[in-house]
């Protein structure tokens, strides 16, 4: 829908919300969530009953440059942990009745026999990890497009299977370096502003990571690049897949919950490529990772939670899904003053007049 129609639907939904048995505006951010959901879905009675988390994984060549506190093989090991049900994202999704899909978009890993046949695991590697982007592209334009299409396909599959709300998360040792490089390139920020500890680097490690990003940007800035060019230059397969999910979700009016620091980098690429895609995105939380708050402010989006989290995996997005569900149910099920026979305040009556 057009921006004008989208805003008009929000206004109509807000008018419905203002009739509920509560002071106007008293449910705060929940009201904004509910009215945006109504606009995205084009319904004053939206539902997000069926929820799915999409966790994309990819190995990063830049990890070879010593930018992470963990070895690169942890990416594949954690994918196995997701499949076996032992990670934080498994616990949180199970606790909240959220389906979990894990997608290998490019992990350097040889899986044990039978793993790739797991019903909620999608083995779709574009390659065995990206290349170190210090002096070449992390991936080719063709590989980047393949990874983006993986994400688009997951959004379409969700639509086909009647999913009402999706979340995006990731796993990839070294991907905070890719994310920071994308922020610096696309938002004209200095590497020192956007580089943090990631998996737990000390001050010396952060300085080295910052230098690696600066050296890479110095190399890649020689050529004028579009957002998708930058994605191929310094991104990761899992980041590209998340970009694809956002872009296709926008085309299909499917709401997306964006997780933390790395998922927000994917959203940044998507918004730069197609500003309209911002309409379908809800930002789960403000990560404790350096500069995430500044980046959210730059994108002019409001995170729902702030819990000092910096794990990734889609954990923040999964935690937010029940909140989004609750907001929509308020819009759909809460009584109005008329239906409940409750008297309104004179000030609220005047506000609606």
**Which residue matches tokens 């990631």?**
198
Rounded Cα gap, residues 304 and 183, in angstroms: 21
59 DSSP assignment: -
Residues 6 or more apart whose CB falls under 8 angstroms from that of 272 comprise 186, 227
Residues 6 or more apart whose CB falls under 8 angstroms from that of 59 comprise 72, 75, 76, 106, 107, 108, 109, 128, 129, 130, 172, 173, 174, 237
Rounded Cα gap, residues 31 and 18, in angstroms: 9
Residues 6 or more apart whose CB falls under 8 angstroms from that of 275 comprise none
**Which residue matches tokens 């009953």?**
49
Active site residue 193: no
**Which residue matches tokens 């995170």?**
303
Given 145, 279, 313, 344, the catalytic residue: 313
- Where in the sequence numbering do the catalytic residues fall? 313
């Amino acid at each position: 829908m057009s921006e004008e129609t989208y805003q008009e639907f929000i206004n109509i939904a807000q008018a419905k919300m203002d009739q509920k048995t509560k002071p106007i505006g008293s449910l705060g951010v929940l009201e904004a969530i509910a009215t945006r959901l109504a606009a995205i879905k084009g319904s004053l009675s939206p539902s997000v009953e069926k929820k799915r988390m999409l966790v994309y994984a990819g190995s990063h060549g830049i990890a070879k440059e010593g930018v992470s506190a963990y070895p690169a093989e942890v990416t594949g090991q954690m994918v196995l942990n997701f499949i076996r049900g032992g990670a934080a994202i498994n616990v949180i999704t199970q606790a909240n009745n959220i389906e979990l899909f894990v997608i290998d978009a490019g992990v350097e890993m040889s899986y044990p026999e039978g793993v790739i046949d797991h019903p909620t695991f999608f083995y779709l590697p574009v390659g065995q990890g990206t290349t170190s982007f210090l002096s070449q592209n992390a991936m080719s334009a063709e590989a980047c497009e393949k990874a983006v299409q993986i994400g688009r396909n997951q959004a379409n599959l969700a639509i086909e299977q009647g999913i009402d709300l999706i979340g995006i998360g990731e796993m990839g040792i070294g991907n905070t370096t890719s994310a920071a490089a994308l922020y610096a390139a696309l938002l004209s920020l200095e590497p020192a502003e956007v580089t943090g500890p990631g998996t737990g680097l000390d001050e010396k490690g952060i300085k080295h990571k910052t230098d690696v990003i600066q050296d890479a940007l110095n190399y890649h800035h020689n050529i004028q690049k579009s957002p998708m060019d930058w994605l191929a230059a310094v991104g990761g397969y899992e980041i590209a897949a998340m970009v694809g999910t956002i872009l296709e979700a926008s085309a299909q009016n499917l709401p997306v919950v964006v997780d933390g620091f790395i998922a927000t980098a994917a959203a940044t690429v998507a918004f730069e490529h197609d500003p309209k895609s911002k309409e379908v995105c809800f930002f789960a939380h403000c990560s404790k990772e350096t500069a995430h708050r500044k980046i959210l402010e730059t994108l002019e989006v409001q995170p729902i939670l702030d819990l000092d989290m910096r794990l990734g995996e889609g954990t923040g997005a999964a935690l937010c899904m029940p909140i989004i569900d609750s907001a929509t149910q308020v819009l759909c099920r809460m009584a109005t003053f008329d239906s409940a026979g409750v008297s309104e305040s004179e000030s609220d009556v005047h506000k609606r007049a």
